[in-house]
A and B are shown apart, each in its own frame.
Chain A
Amino acid sequence: AQSVTQPDIHITVSEGASLELRCNYSYGATPYLFWYVQSPGQGLQLLLKYFSGDTLVQGIKGFEAEFKRSQSSFNLRKPSVHWSDAAEYFCAVDPPGGSYIPTFGRGTSLIVHP
């Protein structure tokens, strides 16, 4: 069965610092990969997704993610964090070719210090 691991439960960064959130997946083939953000009291918003092609994916709000097949990873990055980026971040995977039933990671809570 596919699984998603987000090793960091919490990450604290200073405003303006760079950010990398880790995501590793376990699946036989390359699944579809997603990153979502959830602000307090809100639903999830899609930041970016990877299906195939260029392994560096650009998303909204200045985020990007890099797919590394050899490491089964899909890490999320941002060069300079803003206080408004404080939220919960979820990585999700979905097997290609099927309906959208993603498996979500447990989430990483991002805390931004001024």
Chain B
Amino acid sequence: KAGVTQTPRYLIKTRGQQVTLSCSPISGHRSVSWYQQTPGQGLQFLFEYFSETQRNKGNFPGRFSGRQFSNSRSEMNVSTLELGDSALYLCASSLIGTANNEQFFGPGTRLTVL
């Protein structure tokens, strides 16, 4: 079974631009979660989608948004990029998105904002 894939793996943008990151979950997984990882703040939860609906949301500004498609693939978008948005963005999928369902992480997308 293929793992979680994220595209692109690396991205360089400038301040003020917007960016879209993509995540393809493991086949059959309906829950997709997004995390931001930075040296300063560590791993922080962004949001979780389940069956095309945002089910949970972390404490991030509205510039961070996401969506999930009917095939469970998910995208996250960051508008009006700031230098502080430079981070590794991780996507994780699980069958139904509860704590007793293991999350499987993708390799991440490394976003650099100049």
Contacts and interface: CB of A to CB of B under 8 A. Distances in A.
Q: In the complex, which range does the number of interface residues on chain B fall in?
A: 20 to 34
Contact of B92 (A41, A43, A51): A43
Contacts of A90: 43
A41 B6 CA distance: 13
A101 interface: yes
B contact patch SS? strand
B90 A105 contact: no
B45 interface: yes
B87 interface: no
Interface string B101-114: 11101111000000
Q: In the complex, which range does the number of interface residues on chain A fall in?
A: 20 to 34
B75 interface: no
B62 interface: no
B94 interface: yes
Contacts of A101: 33, 45, 48, 56, 58
B103 A100 contact: yes
9 contacts: A42-B108, A99-B97, A100-B97, A100-B98, A100-B103, A101-B45, A102-B45, A103-B45, A104-B44
Interface of B: 4, 31, 33, 42-45, 48, 55-56, 58, 90, 92, 94, 97-103, 105-108
